[in-house]
Amino acid sequence: QVQLVQSGGGLVEPGGSLRLSCATSGFDFSDHYMTWVRQAPGKGLEWLSYISSRGTTIYYAESVKGRFTTSRDNAKNSLFLQMNSLRVEDTAVYYCAKDGYGLSFDSWGQGTLVTVSS
């Protein structure tokens, strides 16, 4: 079955960097767009980025543009989120997700907590 297993969260100081990973299985990873979504404490879901199946097209939310970089390794069925210049307001649970029909996200990772604090 489809599985998305996330890793790489943790505590980081403001201005620091962190890299999240999303290892996938159970579907043809190279055929699917992938996305990152987060939820800050007490807030709603926020879309962050969307990467095409070959990684040639990437869209970012304004809130992370220029600081976060999404990439993928189709040979390893993995998705990545490189987060630089982290801010306190980036504290959130981060999710990776696989695209489905109608620009939906039909399978999600378990989420990983990123805490930005001094």
Q: What angle do CA 5, 64, 17 make, to 5 degrees?
A: 65
Number of residues that bind another protein (CB under 8 A): 25
Only segment of 8-16, 19-27, 42-50, 73-81 that touches another protein (CB under 8 A): 42-50
Closest to another protein by CB, 13 vs 89, is 89
Does the footprint of another protein cover residue 42 (CB under 8 A)?
no
Closest to another protein by CB, 62 vs 75, is 62
Per-residue CA distances from 50 to 19, 27, 54, 116, 117 (Å): 16, 18, 12, 23, 27
Stretch 57-86: interaction string toward another protein, x if CB under 8 A: --xxxx------------------------
- Strands 10-12 and 112-116, by their bridges, are parallel
Does the footprint of another protein cover residue 106 (CB under 8 A)?
yes
Per-residue CA distances from 30 to 4, 34, 63, 102 (Å): 14, 10, 27, 18
Does the footprint of another protein cover residue 41 (CB under 8 A)?
no
